[in-house]
Amino acid sequence: MALNETAADHIQPDVEVSAVKRSVDGERLIAVFSALVEPIGRSLPASSEVVLHDLSLLPDSIVAIHGDVTGRQVGDPATNLLLQKAVSGSLEHQVGYETTLPDGRRMKSSTMVIRDVAGTPVAALCINTDLSHWYSVQRIARMMIGEEPAVPAASRPTAPSAEVESETARTESNEVFAHDVDELAAHLIHQAVQKTGVPVDLMQKKHKVAVVRDLKARGMFLLRDAVDMIATSLGVTRFTIYNYLNEINDATDD
């Protein structure tokens, strides 16, 4: 028997509220590493930032930051990739991967996962380094030794050369450094919709279920008001989203 929307508010599928539960040892580790963020940041070039995420606070997980490469601050959310890995239980160290900021700057990033005595991931220590200055130095060095012709400043490219582009493309990550939950949510929904290859106004039920399934895997339901945001984007009711989630959970249990 179908439920009406009022009843659905009381019979909802399990939706994540936190990816990680904080332990006593986790509290200690977060306190220790929070105190280390600034000295680590000061020991690195000015083009670097150090960020500490408390995974029990996802999605708004930044608890300490030094540097201003991505323009984020304490209380801002995790990146889309960190959120997805936390929800899927696939958090591991990732060192030296490349990311790109909206303004075209390339960064080299590393994420170190901090685990408590039981082996549970409790925090992520991230280092992001803006590579744009180093690309400029590389370009100047090549001009000095005659490997690259001098280019007038007005026409000099700000992005890496094609050679550098091809060299780094293999390791580049589609990581988004959102400044608030709404920005993160918009990106997650856009990516999930785009993945179906069908515009929302032409979607059938199977496409919308696929979007919800993808968003669940990306950790979207850790965000407050996630159901409302997804329902609005797909042009359906909250009750419909809960139905889709129940279908997805039932299929997973089979």
pLDDT in tens, 34-76: 999 999 999 999 999 999 999 999 999 999 999 999 999 999 9
Mean pLDDT of all residues in 214-222: 95
For residue range 114-124, list pLDDT tens digits in order: 999 999 999 99
Say whether pLDDT at 249 is over 60.
Answer: yes
Averaged pLDDT, 127-131: 94
d(CA 214, CA 195) in angstroms, rounded, equals 9
Task: Catalogue the long-range contacts made by 91-100 (C-beta closer than 8 Å, 24 or more residues apart).
Answer: 91/55, 91/121, 91/124, 96/171, 97/171, 97/172, 97/173, 98/131, 98/168, 98/171, 98/172, 98/173, 99/128, 99/172, 99/173, 99/175, 99/177, 100/172
Q: Which domains does the chain carry?
A: 1-175 (3.30.450.20), 181-253 (no CATH)
